[in-house]
A = this chain, B = another copy of it.
Amino acid sequence: MVRLQLLTRSEHDRVRVARGEPDLTLSLLADMCRLNALVAVKRAGSGHLGSTFSSLDVVAHLLFAELNVAELGFEHPGRDVFFSSKGHDVPGLYAALFGLGVIPEERLLRLRRLGGLDGHPDVGVPGIEANSGSLGMGISKGRGIAWAKRRGGQGGRVVVMTGDGELQEGQNWEALQAAAHDRLGGFWVVVDRNELQSDRPTEEILALRALESKLEAFGWDVASCDGHDHAALRSVFEGFREGAADGPKALVAHTVKGRGVSFMEHPAALAEGGGTYPWHAGAPGDDAFERASRELEDRIRAGFSALGLDPPLFEPVAGEATARGLEGEPESGAGTRRAVTDEYVVEAYGEALLELGAKDDRLVVLDADLASDCRIRAFELAYPERFLECGIAEQDMVSTAAGLARHGFLPVVNSFASFLASRANEQIYNQASEGTKVVYALHYAGLIPAGPGKSHQSLRDVSLLAALPGTTIVQPASAEETDALLRWAVEDADGNVALRLAIGPSPRRIELPEGYRAQVGRGNVLREGRDGVLLAYGPVLLHEALVAAEQLEDDGLGLRVVDMPWLNRFDAEWLAGEVAPFEHVFVLEDHAPVGALGDGLRRALDGRTVEVFGVEGWPACGTPEEALRFHGLDGASLADRIAARVGVRSST
């Protein structure tokens, strides 16, 4: 088993007070942050190292040299405000904040854990200035903050980092034009131009072309430099400070994805990955971790020596390298699952899509730079002429699909549920209003994985589509059901279908009744019971429902468990028969308690009591166990909650 060791805050202090050659010092601090970020990610079992490393020289330069926060602290109204719009590079920022003493060690080692550090930035964490992680909002927020600073007169600059792929998101261009129009001074944007987005080159996915010319055309003063060269960064920032006081300024920082660990660096790593970059997300395995940490440690030792300091002290981290049970994260690093089986609903989705594509050449698949996570890479390779890569631009993707659908194609549109149902909501409405049919695959729906945090957890998507006329919303519980529902959506449905999919592996195989076939509006009884009926959907919460039923059985209570994949369409007769024998009807939502299956059943059952267990409030960040337990939705909690209701009611 690998040993983890990190550099404490005092080691950072030693480097900072040494006041050695500034560029050597900053390079060393950046590497120290790289090592600590690597340790935090390894321990979390997930994280985005590629762009953490590409951005870290800029982040270290800003926090340790350019900005006033080390001096003023993060509560001072005159502080410089820095945050990263892309957000998934936050392990580097956490490491820098740790180095400054803003974040304590126990919290750094609880990355992606309940009560620790969110997988994407959240203002609940000290030093974090903005929630980000869903792309493209940062420049707008920075504009608002710069406006507030100008109006308030407290001083301080605003510096927003963005990715380069992120600039495909249209909101950036709204914000760029607005900030230029406002002549906002003290507002800088730094583009981490590492030339890779997710796992492929930006120029391949959706070329940015001459980025500097674009930014200039939008009215910004633009500079560019090597984003790992501290002398060059210093010179650019000096120029910005001394430049026109009343206009926003952009730096295109040319960087290397994976910088600092030779085998993670672009372009070598891309070539080694056969055209896909392997270190965008996810924690490295033990071997890779050891190679990477050794390389960083060696360079850090050399840096200490070059500054004339005693050798660095690496502090061993207690406990396991990777928190228990956090294996098996999807390629996105989107999260993890406790018990792993080979039963991913999303794998079944990718396979069924491939088969349906072979049968019907009207079927076109659209992607917004999540092809690996959405399991549509196989379709892309098999039918490149019917695969549309839209880049990180969900709105454009949906309206493009609308155009395709009007002209004879059947588009299957893919993204994470939290982005697709929400950011492209009006475009979906507009498409639907044309009376065409599109299949929306809403990946990463629900509470789990909970490591990435609330920007990625989608607990509103059903409510966001529920009032759309003619749209059917379904969520399958198993590979078998995924296959059946996708086929129904493509071949039989006569309007839009939103297919909600869990992204992680399933904790257990949900076994459907023998002879199962998809029947509109009808669920599947997974387990019999006489004291109450619980309807749930998706592999994550059906597993918890079954755990609850198993526990209740030990307590002498029988809970009927029904897989109900139809979230807004019900067969009235079936439903009436299903609930008739029961005093207690429970619904378990992998969603907020508002706007999903429970509300629909209350409408359909007109006057029956329906008790809903859903994700109340903001979704918790943490391991699956932590998040489910936090919300009272793990099997044991559910059993207690159900027993309390059935018991109380039965005694009356």
Contacts and interface: CB of A to CB of B under 8 A. Distances in A.
A130 interface: yes
A592 B432 CA distance: 15
Contacts of A501: none
B602 A594 contact: no
Interface in A117-153: 122-124, 129-132, 134, 137-138, 140-149, 151-152
B426 A130 contact: no
A138 B402 CA distance: 10
A63 to B, nearest CB: 19
Interface string A178-210: 101100000000000000000000000011111
A207 B153 CA distance: 25
Contact of A400 (B143, B402, B594, B606): B143
Interface stretch (A332-340, A347-355, A453-461): A453-461
A118 to B, nearest CB: 10
Contacts of A395: 137, 140, 170-171, 174, 423
A309 interface: no
B407 A149 contact: yes
Contact of A144 (B129, B132, B209, B403): B403
A203 to B, nearest CB: 9
A390 interface: yes
B433 A396 contact: no
A41 B468 CA distance: 30
A493 interface: no
Contact of A594 (B144, B208, B425, B466): B466
A141 B433 CA distance: 14
Contacts of A616: 469
Interface stretch (A213-221, A249-257, A285-293, A553-561): A213-221
A171 B391 contact: no
A175 B463 contact: no
Of A175, A210, A409, most B-chain CB atoms within 10 Å: A175
Contacts of A210: 217
Given A181-B207, A422-B425, A595-B595, A141 B399 contact: yes
A607 B123 CA distance: 40
Nearest to A568: B594
A433 to B, nearest CB: 5
Contacts of A469: 592, 616-618
Contacts of A603: 593-594, 598-599, 602, 612
Contact of A143 (B122, B180, B403): B403
Contacts of A152: 407-408
Contacts of A123: 406, 434-435
Interface string A413-444: 00000110011011101100111000000000
Contacts of A213: 213, 217
A138 B152 CA distance: 40
A406 to B, nearest CB: 7
A169 interface: yes
Interface in A559-600: 568, 591-595, 598-600
A231 interface: no
A404 interface: yes
Interface of A: 77, 122-124, 129-132, 134, 137-138, 140-149, 151-152, 168-175, 177-178, 180-181, 206-210, 213-214, 216-219, 385-386, 388, 390-391, 393, 395-409, 411, 418-419, 422-423, 425-427, 429-430, 433-435, 454-455, 459-460, 463-464, 466-469, 568, 591-595, 598-600, 602-603, 606-609, 612, 616-618
Lowest 10 CB-CB distances: which A-B pairs, in order?
A: A144-B403, A170-B170, A140-B399, A174-B396, A148-B407, A607-B609, A174-B393, A422-B426, A144-B400, A467-B592
Given A144-B402, A174-B395, 13 more contacts: A132-B430, A137-B430, A140-B395, A144-B407, A170-B171, A170-B173, A170-B395, A180-B207, A213-B213, A216-B217, A430-B455, A433-B618, A602-B602
